[in-house]
Amino acid sequence: MSLVAVAVAIAFQAPPDVEWAQRPQPECPQFACFISAAGDVQLVCQSTSDGRLEDCRVTHASPHGLGYEDAALASTSAARLRGVSAENAGGATRFTIRFRAADYADIIPKRRPYAGPEPSARAKEIAADIVIAMGADAPMDDAFQLLGGLDPERQRVVAPWVREAMPDLKQMAVAFFSRYLTEVELEGLLEGRFPDREPSITDLKYYLSDFMPDEDPALVVRARYCAAYECEITPPPETDTPAP
């Protein structure tokens, strides 16, 4: 599974002496981040005398369907300009938001057999009750919202791909609780009493070693998505390109 950080670069074109006081800080759409897809969105806004941006619209976006346009537009409400005056207010401010995702899939450990003691049937039963009580047996799409930002029609196509690629989350949760906690701790947790110890990343890797996917689910889904839909960034027409 990919752990994604998003870098946002902005190419900016505005009236003379106008600069950012608060740059747009867009959030990466969830599915686009999940598959580490890059995206460019070009916008044009009108500036107000107090530095706000209004009447913003997208003049070019690529690739389409991943939600980058909405994310970019939403980020303009908190953005502010410095140097806008009564004389130059209302002028066009053009900028391009470039989303770039970093893929850290290589840190995901490989699948290997679980080497610890097998939990008792009673421990598994209590763990299953805990998972149900926590809502961890809810459908994966609802629990993780991995399809956020994706075009609704594409969501219906892509959702089965994500389910196929992801490990069974309910089984993972039951296995972890029953392997990591004693029966006494499990019974206490079911009653709302949390154990004194908290699992570390090392614990998760050890107790769930046999649940690690053979291939990074994000890369599997990305390959299928990019084979069916647009993933490459296409540049805007030369006349619409803002100066960097």
Question: pLDDT tens digit string along 19-47?
Answer: 889 999 998 898 998 898 999 999 999 98
Shared domain check, 183 and 141:
yes
Q: Residue 228 domain-assigned?
A: no
- Rounded Cα distance between 75 and 59, Å, is 16
Shared domain check, 116 and 101:
no
Count of residues in the chain: 244
- Rounded Cα distance between 136 and 199, Å, is 17
Total number of domains in the chain: 2
pLDDT computed for residue 163 by the predictor? 84
Prediction pTM value: 0.69
Q: What is the CATH number of the domain that holds 26?
A: 3.30.2420.10
Shared domain check, 161 and 76:
no
In this predicted model, what pLDDT tens digit does every residue of 153-199 receive, in sequence order?
999 999 999 888 887 878 889 999 999 999 999 999 999 999 998 88
In this predicted model, what pLDDT tens digit does every residue of 188-237 receive, in sequence order?
999 999 999 888 878 888 898 888 777 788 889 999 999 999 899 998 87
Shared domain check, 50 and 127:
no
Shared domain check, 157 and 65:
no
Domain of residue 184 covers 109-215
- Which of the four pLDDT bands, split at 50, 70 and 90, describes residue 242? very low
Shared domain check, 119 and 96:
no
Shared domain check, 122 and 82:
no
Encode burial over 176-192: b for 16+ CB neighbours within 10 A, e otherwise: bbbbbbeeebbbebeee
Q: Is residue 82 within 8 Å of residue 51, measured between CB atoms?
A: yes
Shared domain check, 168 and 98:
no
Q: Residue 188 domain-assigned?
A: yes
In this predicted model, what pLDDT tens digit does every residue of 105-135 receive, in sequence order?
444 556 778 888 999 999 999 999 999 988 7
Q: Residue 230 domain-assigned?
A: no
